[in-house]
Structure 1
Amino acid sequence: MTGMRRSKPRYAELGDLLQAAIEKGEYPVGTLLPTELELCERFEVSRHTARAALAQLIAAGLVQRRPGAGTRVIAQSAAMRYEHEVDTVDTLMQYGNTTRLKIVETGRVLADAATAQRLEIREGKEYLRLRGLRLEEPARLAVAVTEMLVPVRTGVPVAKLLDAASTARTVASFLDPARLSRVEQVFDAASFDADDARLLEIRRSEPAMRVQRRYRDASGRLLMLATSLHPPGRFAYSMVLSRNHRQ
């Protein structure tokens, strides 16, 4: 690769090279990869580059590192997952454009005290409950089960949201970034109940990454509360934080 214009950082090239070797069986599951120092000598890279390349393999679920025990291969192929990077509301909404929402249940519900507080409405007021799967395109891998709660107010397209044939399209237009003032996100850990596990074809009580999003309009009013549960190995969420605003 010397003398060629690189399209990737050197660590990514090395990471890809090592991943290809693992997938070909050159480093079988259970064996150790070369040490950082050995990688530095063999590929003429810095210690930092070697460390970053190994970190790429760890993130792919191919290897595991333990202090004093080396880097051991734990899988021959990378875990399938959907990775989404976000730094603005607009890029957040691209998640909806690059995945497909498959609706499995819709309904009208009267809010109890707890739900009314979450949706910032009065107890007994009606809201819509929409439930579905987020599928990665084009593989159609289910990356999340999602529940969407929508307070029923003037201007909410109730009939279209309740029609499973049009729900996905209506959600996309209802949450048009042009009408949003902000999206509030909370990440925490949870587990799957029996119904959600069945939809995702995983074991009950599997750990989950839970993402709760509150979508607000220009006046700050809550449009939707969406809660997504992601199973292990199928989704990654990344963001870049900087001190300065982008020019």
Structure 2
Amino acid sequence: MTGSRRTKPRYAELGDALQRAIEKGEYPVGTLLPTELELCERYQVSRHTARAALTQLINAGLVDRRPGAGTRVIAQNVAMRYEHEIDTVDLLLQYGNTTRLQVISAQRLPASAEIARQLEITEGKDYLRLYTLRLEEPSRQPLAVTEMWIPVRSTVPVDKLLDVATAARAVARFLEPTRLSRVEQVFDATSFSTEDARQLGIKKSEPAMRVQRRYRDTQGKLLLIATSLHPPGRFAYSMVLSRNHR
């Protein structure tokens, strides 16, 4: 991971190196990967970098991580999935620029074990929960309900994010493209809660398309998780795939 100009964040380089090792059978299915501390010592990286690299493997479906049990290899190869790298972040953010975010509520809460795992923080550490609507302009038709989780750190504008009058603008500034190295996206299907359906003006029985986005800074640290639920007929996602020549 040294000796050449770096084109990826350090955590992504480490994640790729571990993935190659798994694919080559250096860590067979059922065995444990090195701990975060062992990775820090072996590759001379920070704890945040090691954790983000392991999360990359979790999201790829290669490993499973449980408190007290370590990080266990569960597959030798990555399942088929779509992922957007930094060269499409600007296009992704155009969606935010052509719609309007309306913040309905904002709370500061201690993270449960599950939320802490997803946010890559310690259980009990504070995070911000924003419940929002994404509106189409100029019709103001609701396109999605979005729940945002933001770990509380010194760089987070907590007061502005907790004020529903300033929160939308604060989110936009917090996710400036220059701060981002990576946006990880996962699409699946789910159902709406009663409150979600009410906000969108639909029946609860309608199916929901769920889009989860994980925004990372240039050091690989997780800035925000946004989970959006879209009703039928109000949102479509299009992408073009091309062969990667090396």
- TM-score tier by shorter-chain length is 0.5 to 0.7
The 1:99–1:208 alpha-carbon spacing in structure 2 relative to 1, beyond 3 Å, is same
Give the ranges of 4+ consecutive aligned residues of structure 1 lying more than 6 Å apart after TM superposition.
Answer: none
Segments of structure 1 that go 5 or more residues without pairing to the other structure are 1-85
CA distance, structure 1, for counterparts of residue 140 and residue 87 of structure 2: 25
The match for 1:176 is: 176
Shift of 1:169: 0.5
Q: Does 1:122 align with 2:112?
A: no
| CA deviation vs aligned residue, 1:81-109 (integer Å, no higher than 9, x gap) | xxxxx970110011110110011010001
Segments of structure 2 that go 5 or more residues without pairing to the other structure are 1-85
**The structure with more strand, counted as a fraction of residues:** 1
The match for 1:97 is: 97
| CA deviation vs aligned residue, 1:36-73 (integer Å, no higher than 9, x gap) | xxxxxxxxxxxxxxxxxxxxxxxxxxxxxxxxxxxxxx
Shift of 1:205: 3.0
| CA deviation vs aligned residue, 1:155-179 (integer Å, no higher than 9, x gap) | 1000001111111111001000111
The match for 2:212 is: 212
CA distance, structure 2, for counterparts of residue 189 and residue 161 of structure 1: 29
| SS of aligned partner of 1:90 | helix
Q: Does 1:222 align with 2:222?
A: yes
The match for 2:162 is: 162
Structure 1 segment 5-44 matched on structure 2, within 5 A: none
Q: TM-score, normalised by structure 1?
A: 0.63
Among all aligned residue pairs of Structure 1 and Structure 2, give the percentage whose two residues are the same amino acid: 69
The match for 1:131 is: 131
Shift of 1:204: 1.1
| SS of aligned partner of 2:236 | strand
| SS of aligned partner of 1:88 | helix
| CA deviation vs aligned residue, 1:131-187 (integer Å, no higher than 9, x gap) | 110001111111000000000011100000111111111100100011100000000
What value does the CA root-mean-square deviation take over the aligned residues?
A: 1.4
- Amino acid across the alignment from 1:195: E
- Amino acid across the alignment from 1:128: L
The match for 1:109 is: 109
Q: TM-score, normalised by structure 2?
A: 0.63
| SS of aligned partner of 2:104 | strand
